[in-house]
Amino acid sequence: MIARQPFGTTGQESTRTIFGAAALGRMQDEEAAPVLDVLLEYGINHIDTAATYGRSERRVGAWMDRHRNDFFLATKTGERSYQAARDQFHHSLERLRVDSVDLLQLHNLVDEDEWETALGPGGALEAAVEVREQRLCRFIGVTGHGVTVAAMHRRSLERFPFDSVLLPYNYPLMQNAQYAADFDALLSLCAERGVAVQTIKGITLRPWDEREHTHGTWYEPLSQQDDIDLAVSWVLARPGVFLNTAADATLLPKILDAASRAEGRSAGASDEAAMAALAQRRAMAPLFT
């Protein structure tokens, strides 16, 4: 089983490893159900999906009638205007076959112009606040990618009291001094304000090159269990963060197995040395520069 911790100040106790349901995006129902059943084996109680994750919301929805009360359910809208975001969210409810979700997130909000639109008058944030007032969602979060995302999330938290943030966190990316400084500053702010911090791309190996893509992730992932063990342990050694699983169902059991054995550890010099050795041995490289 995987330990739980408070999801910010929401009152939710989520497993430190959250199921990233992008892994279901290209599956049929009969393929998805066994994957979702793996979550029960490890006691996972938090699912993160999005309107733009292919068939993901439909696959989760086909399973929700039996398990809705067992999971904190999060989705995302990538729309930037009020009406488009509102409409997309209601379609998400239909696909998920639920009356409400626990968390609605503004998806990949990093571009300056999109940020101003989404958080400004007539923007997506107004739609999120409205559906929260209608009790169609309970909490509002923001997500993003790239080397500027940590700094942008800090700006977002100054504009609005988001309940959660989501952004990349892995060893290669944290070798970027500016990103590391921005991430640390964001983490401190979130701890101060009780904002949940979800991390993604924890098992990144490198960007895909011209070789055949062997996994459904949009980056080449670590795939050997020992390597995944080390990367997952390195992420979870950071107090307070959550680890969202990768967008490839074949990696899910390996990640959950690694997470179940990583609890109770604290980061130390040996972790950094082991990750540095792994990075050199596997020629790890950052996704974003």
Residue 165 β-bridge partners: 142, 197
DSSP state of 8: T
Instruction: Provide the pLDDT for residue 269.
Output: 57
- Residues 6 or more apart whose CB falls under 8 angstroms from that of 8 comprise 163, 164, 190, 194, 195, 196
Helix, strand or coil, per DSSP, at residue 171: coil
Over its length of 289 residues, how does the chain's per-residue pLDDT go in tens digits?
899 999 999 999 999 999 999 999 887 777 788 888 899 999 999 999 999 998 999 999 998 888 999 999 999 999 999 999 999 999 999 999 999 999 999 999 999 999 999 999 999 999 999 999 999 999 999 999 999 999 999 999 999 999 999 999 999 999 999 999 999 999 999 999 999 999 999 999 998 886 767 787 888 999 999 999 999 999 999 999 999 999 999 999 999 999 999 865 555 556 889 999 999 999 999 988 8
Q: Which domains does the chain have, with CATH numbers?
A: 13-281 (3.20.20.100)
Instruction: Provide the pLDDT for residue 110.
Output: 97
Instruction: Provide the pLDDT for residue 264.
Output: 55
Encoded tokens for 276: 């540095």
Q: Is there a contact between 205 and 238 (Cβ–Cβ < 8 Å)?
A: no
Encoded tokens for 85: 């975001």
Helix, strand or coil, per DSSP, at residue 117: helix
Instruction: Provide the pLDDT for residue 258.
Output: 96
Calculate the alpha carbon distances from 46 to 68, 80, 262 in Å.
11, 25, 18
Integer Rg of the chain from CA: 18
Indicate the pairing of strand 220-221 with strand 17-20.
unpaired
